[in-house]
Amino acid sequence: MSYEGNANTAGVRAVLTLVVSLIVSGEAGAIGKFRATPAELRLLPAYCAPRAQPWGNDSSRPEVRRWFQVFGKDYVHMHHYCLAMLKLRRAPMIADARERRAAYVVARNNLLYMEKNVSRGFLLWPELKVLLAEAYRGLGDRARAVAAAQQALALKPDYARAAAFLADEWVEMGRPEEARRVLEGAIKRGARARSLARRLACLEGRGRRCPAGYRSNGSRGGR
């Protein structure tokens, strides 16, 4: 083989080595499987945007360093969290039942990854549990959905989102008194969300635009 041929072969190998090293180091393509459109990123929390970029682990960049300062070492896992949120947003809009279930499975699996890998001091533990509850509900696993929402409330007793989710589950299961207990407990502990007061009014038959399963004096509304 000529010197030119050897040089070309060496050049190709060098390029391939560089590409592989970039992929391994996270510098080529987005991090993990988190892919979101600009429009979808605008609907997700600000900390997700860097995780959708090839430089999302580069703490020398101000937009990345900012979130490492907030989350600490847990930030290296946040593309899993963001992917789960993205799938939970997409799933209800998917017409095909198998594809919709697949989206919920991806969300659940990435949230279970977070549970296993983030620290005890992770800032979003209550929200993580509610997101997991939503994923389980999407998969038809009501028992685990309720358990996850209860864990969220145990971590943050005034967490309105968890209380609303859990109350809705109890109502759909035909247990309105359990729903009332959850709502009153969260309000007593400081939750001030209108969504809780509205649900409580709906349980008493005096609410309007009630979620599915509640009594209503007016038209039904969403969750």
Cα 198 to chain centroid distance, Å, stands at 25
- Measure the N-to-C terminal CA separation of the chain; round to a whole number of Å: 71
7 confidence band (pLDDT: 50, 70, 90) = very low
Domain segments of the chain: what residues? 1-29, 31-110
**C-alpha distance from residue 10 to each of 5, 19, 20, 56 (Å):** 9, 14, 15, 31
Give the pLDDT band of residue 30 (cuts 50, 70, 90): low
Q: Is 60 exceeded by the pLDDT of residue 92?
A: yes
Q: What is the reported pLDDT for 168?
A: 97
Encode pLDDT of 39-67 as tens digits. 999 999 999 999 999 888 888 999 999 99
pLDDT for 209 equals 84
Tens digits of per-residue pLDDT, 117-170? 999 999 999 999 999 999 999 999 999 999 999 999 999 999 999 999 999 999
User: Can you tell me the distance from the alpha carbon of 130 to that of 111, in angstroms, rounded to the nearest whole number?
Assistant: 10
pTM, whole model, 2 decimals? 0.81
